[in-house]
């Protein structure tokens, strides 16, 4: 059985690897476009690691480094193109850029306005921005916008400055202003995508936040409706430390004391979480739980170690005139935990390879491959399986709205007499967090 599943799993990875590497470059251009320069350069660097002969991307990375005032990194990339590219135009561009870098000495002061200075707040803003003084540039841009609040290009520039300074609330205000008022389709797409990303970042770093996960579906093989709700109220008690109350509910419509399809319970309590790394966290829960099928109530202890990551980036917001509507990303999730109420340890792993087609605004359609595996220390049949499937998802044009999905899959069990199964799952999920 496992021998039959392994080729399918490997094939799903091979088929998506080429698209994934290309999407690294696409993600770089996307984040460069919306002004997230550090993130853009990271995608370009990862792309070039396996596509080192793409000299156009290397040139674009070099120019991005110049814009970020990382001259040594820029010089390294220009020099590589000048020495290795077979394209004469690329070589000429690289050599010209190197000549400009080498010519950038103290003599540049001759080109600066040393007598009269900039003639307006707008000129002063760009003058100080070019000098690398973003603090003074922001002051002059703010003065300019007080007189011309509809200058959306300047407001976008100010939003980028505040984001680089980690003044996320001010950055969000300016992005939202442009997103609601600009008539330029490109500016609206940039502003709304950036605002959405900043809101998520604010939720993850604020003193108080709420996160909610609600996943429910109908399983055709079990003829069963399954639902899981997890909610945290987060209070930041220190750098990377959070605590607060939680609610965890898992149920279905068919399990019984004599035939368990899923462990059903309702649990409420308090948690403590430490973010070890950006995508690695440890959470400790202490709660009161009711086990539905076992008809018991008890205090529960549940330590959890969770890792998650996304490779590539999905396009967040798309206007009708957008030239780029397709994006690719891969999500992975691993969790190890001990659940005292079941006196059982669990390992979980999920991987998805996703192609997203933006259909306008926040709406999209996704086609994906998914691989799931779960193990427990008690070797209960329904807790030990491997599952592979594909599916399609749809999200309407509302920023915070459930995602509807249909997912056929094949599930193979490792222990017991439970038969392997093919099923179609259909339902919706909502993954939401916000600053409060």
pLDDT in tens, the chain (436 residues): 545 545 544 545 444 455 555 567 777 777 776 677 777 888 888 777 667 678 888 888 888 888 787 887 888 888 888 888 888 777 878 887 888 777 653 434 434 433 344 557 888 888 888 777 888 889 999 999 988 888 998 999 999 999 988 899 999 999 999 999 888 888 888 899 899 989 888 888 889 999 999 999 999 999 999 999 999 999 999 989 999 999 999 999 988 888 878 889 999 999 999 999 989 999 999 999 998 888 889 999 999 999 999 998 888 888 876 667 899 999 999 999 999 998 999 999 999 999 999 998 999 999 999 999 999 999 988 899 999 999 999 999 998 899 999 999 999 999 988 889 999 999 999 999 988 8
Q: How far apart are CA 341 and CA 288, in angstroms?
A: 10
pLDDT for position 3? 53
Q: How far apart are CA 148 and CA 181, in angstroms?
A: 13
Region class of 54: left (phi > 0), else alpha (psi between -120 and 50), else beta: beta
Where helices occur in 322-398 by DSSP H, the ranges are: none
Residue 65 is given by DSSP the state H
Quote the tokens at residue 272: 């403590």
Quote the tokens at residue 39: 């993130």
Q: How far apart are CA 60 and CA 270, in angstroms?
A: 49
pLDDT for position 173? 93
Q: What is the pTM of this model?
A: 0.68
The answer to whether 248 and 213 have CB atoms below 8 angstroms apart is no
405 alpha-carbon distance from chain centroid: 20
pLDDT for position 4? 52
Phi and psi of 303, rounded to 5°?
A: -85, 140
Work out the angle at residue 107's Cα, subtended by the Cα atoms of residues 105 and 110, and round it to the nearest 5 degrees.
Answer: 140
Q: How far apart are CA 431 and CA 401, in angstroms?
A: 9
Exposed/middle/buried for residue 285 (C-beta within 10 Å: 0-12, 13-18, 19+):
buried
pLDDT for position 103? 67
pLDDT for position 332? 96
pLDDT for position 116? 43
Q: How far apart are CA 280 and CA 267, in angstroms?
A: 24
pLDDT for position 262? 80
User: What's the distance, Cα to Cα, between the start and end of the chain in Å?
Assistant: 49
pLDDT for position 37? 79
């Amino acid at each position: 059985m496992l021998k039959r599943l392994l080729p399918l799993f490997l094939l799903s990875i091979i088929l998506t690897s080429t698209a994934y590497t290309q999407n690294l470059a696409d993600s770089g251009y996307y984040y460069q476009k919306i002004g997230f320069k550090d993130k853009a350069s990271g995608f370009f660097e990862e792309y070039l690691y396996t596509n080192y002969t793409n000299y156009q991307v290397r040139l674009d990375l070099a120019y991005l480094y110049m814009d970020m005032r990382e001259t040594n990194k820029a010089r390294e990339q220009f020099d590589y193109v000048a020495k290795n590219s077979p394209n004469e135009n690329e070589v000429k561009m690289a050599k010209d850029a190197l000549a400009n870098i080498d010519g950038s000495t103290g003599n540049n002061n001759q080109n600066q306005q040393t007598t009269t200075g900039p003639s307006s707040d707008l000129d002063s803003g760009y003058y100080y921005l070019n000098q690398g003084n973003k603090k003074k540039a922001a002051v002059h841009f703010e003065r300019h916008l007080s007189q011309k609040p509809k200058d959306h290009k300047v407001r976008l520039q100010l939003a980028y400055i505040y984001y680089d300074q980690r003044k996320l609330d001010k950055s969000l205000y300016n992005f939202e202003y442009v997103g609601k008022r600009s008539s330029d389709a490109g500016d609206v797409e940039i502003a709304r995508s950036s605002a959405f990303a900043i809101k998520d970042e604010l939720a993850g770093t604020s003193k108080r936040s709420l996160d909610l996960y609600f996943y429910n579906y109908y399983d055709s093989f079990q003829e069963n409706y399954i639902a899981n709700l997890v909610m945290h109220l987060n209070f930041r008690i220190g750098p990377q430390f959070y605590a607060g109350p939680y609610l965890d509910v898992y149920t279905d419509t068919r399990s019984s004391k004599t035939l368990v399809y899923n462990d059903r319970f309702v649990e409420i309590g308090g948690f403590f979480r430490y973010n070890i790394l950006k995508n690695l966290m440890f959470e400790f829960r202490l709660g009161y739980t009711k086990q539905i099928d076992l008809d018991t109530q008890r205090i529960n202890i549940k330590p959890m170690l969770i890792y998650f990551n996304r490779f590539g980036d999905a396009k967040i917001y798309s206007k009708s005139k957008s030239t780029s509507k397709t994006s690719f990303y891969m999500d992975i999730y691993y969790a190890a935990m001990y659940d005292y109420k079941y006196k059982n340890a669990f390992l979980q792993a999920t991987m998805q390879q996703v192609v997203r087609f933006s259909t306008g605004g926040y709406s999209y359609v996704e086609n994906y491959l998914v691989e799931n595996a779960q193990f427990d220390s008690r070797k209960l049949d329904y807790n030990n399986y491997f599952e592979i499937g594909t599916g399609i998802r749809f999200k309407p044009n509302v920023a915070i709205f459930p995602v509807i999905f249909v997912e056929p899959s094949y599930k193979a069990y490792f222990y017991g007499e439970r038969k392997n199964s093919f099923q179609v799952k259909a339902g919706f999920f909502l993954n939401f967090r916000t600053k409060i």
